[in-house]
Chains A and B, each alone.
Chain A
Amino acid sequence: MRCSKTKLLSTTVIPLMVFAGVAAGGMAVTGQFIGTPAYATCNPCNPCAAANPCNPCNPCNPCAAANPCNPCNPCAAAACNPCNPCNPCAAACNPCNPCAAGGGAGSLKCAVPRLQTAAACNPCSPCAAACNPCNPCNPCNPCAAANPCNPCNPCAAACNPCNPCNPCAAAACNPCNPCAAANPCNPCGACGACNPCGASGPVELTDAEAVKAYDCMLNEMRVAYAKSDNNTAVNYTSWRRYSTQAYLSATHGNRYVQNYGNAAAKAYGAYEDAGTMPAGAALAKDSFSVSAKGKVTVGPLFVMEKMPAGFYAKSDDWRYTMVMPNGSIFGATKGAGSAKVEFCIGCHISVAPDADSLMFLPDDYRVSR
């Protein structure tokens, strides 16, 4: 009886407690939970805690101290944080692990699955085979070997341009194409992360992926920009949006952006016919970047505000501001540190010399007038 009780404890209760600890840690990480209820069960004055040698909070329990996910461990929330480098599980299952989500931080929940899969299957990834037993590229995966069209099979689609299963065989971007491989700056490099130039090229999402990523990132962007305490950064999402969805902006670092304008900027909706904006008009672009491995990261908020005539002829009286994802503000033209955003003026003037420095979005993504 005692034996079965012990078994029940070890197979049910302890895992449940550990699970609770992981859940508490996760909640703390996402910011949805900032209390520390786990500490309550650790109260050494609790007679139950002291009496139970299997209590994970009992200091006499040799496992207690060793378990980084023990909810009573004061470091548990941090240790169970999947991004905590001290987490012994981090290497295998950590989405922040460079072998997993694709290296680096960024939004874990908003990663682009298609790009993650492509990156994980990249035969150049040193992590592909080793880290993930479920990775279709892992040679230990019986499915990998059996599928002649598995892109990770070195003899199959990806590396054999003549393989009929390879839908990209004919494409110039096929990384196995000897012409592509020979040219380290092949503009198709984004198709193959083996290309040293590939990583810096723009990563293109489908419209559906861009919509999904933006919707997923919107709250994270708002929270990030709000750290600046800048009124535009706090309020821009209540303005009219002039883009139907997030689109790739080559002039803003190949980030995905959306265009917002305040009431005074309503003429922006006339696009090339907008004319000169009145003082008080303000335009904002929020942004996120996508890595070749699917990592999605908050980018800056780009703001331009029309100031009264005579403010600064060189900028067509626009004041440019960059709000960084950590709340830093760079800019504002003619304000503190204005020299830092002089490049905004140069770029806008050169791209739109006859359009009051206004840049317009691609036709396909404009809201109807």
Chain B
Amino acid sequence: MGTFSNLLESIKGTKGPFIEAISGLDLEVQEGEIFGILGPNGAGKTTLIKILCTLVLHDEGEAYVRGYDVKKEPGKVLNNLQAVLPGSRGFTWRLTGRQNLEFYSLLYGLEDNVAKKRIEYLLELTGLLDRADDDFQRYSTGMQRKLLLCRGLLRDTPIILFDEPTTGLDPSSAAEFRSLIKDRLVAEEGKTILMSTHNLSEAQGMCDRIAIMDRGKITACNTPDRIRYEMVDENQFNVAFHETPFTGKHEVMLNRLQEISGIQGVTPSIDPTDGLQELSFRIDKLMDLSVILEVLLNYDLNIKTMNTMEPTLEDAFIAITGERPAVPRRRVRR
């Protein structure tokens, strides 16, 4: 049974400029998976997360969390799901981390002894135990994010939503936070994660499946690898040469290469002194590379290295949305 299922027609404002954040979105998330929502700014990722945690009401369509309608049964939905939203929302800056958690544990209705144990466990889990009795205002951004996670986990719901979980964290804190989600929450505790992110390498490294949202619609939904392969038709093939003066015959060779079926483009890299250094081919994914090599060998070129670069999630993202993501990713060499 799907953990979430959505079939949202639209969410729109009733006054001011017409806003249609989500339209015709059909999505299902399975238990125990990490599901990523990718998309450019304004794609509707945060709106989707807020619909699921009952903070935004959709006008039409249906959204369910473990069978509960988010519109009609918000209480039951919130018993199954918590969200970790960015920023230091709702914490009292002059209280300690532990005091803040104690406050929320009471709002969640936890019994005192259960709350105490849970808070202790979560502080240990997130590595905040040593700083639990420091004022929240003394916490670094990474620690604040961890306390947000502690709050999200207080109720021990099976589903956790993250909106841009590592935005604003330094690389090591971000890596630590990702590991916490993947290794502890999912692998050890079996939680289901739905996260929105701009960070494609994060999505590729963490998510079992991703959906790419653009202008309120899901334009692709699959595993990161399948999206990479299916959404981008081309590979890149690079051949580097030992010193080879670029002559007229190489011009002819380039023309010949351009005409080969399966080659979408050839870009030479020519140095004024060293001559032809590299040829970069955009080729069909299933192209037989020996056809290219055959031509190159006919022109007495000394090949130094060859490699094929597979499409990255960034390539897929650009192909789908036409926009470059906030955090670019290098191609993967093979």
Same complex for A and B? Answer no
Q: Which residues in B have some Cβ–Cβ distance to A below 8 Å?
A: none
Q: Which residues in A have some Cβ–Cβ distance to B below 8 Å?
A: none
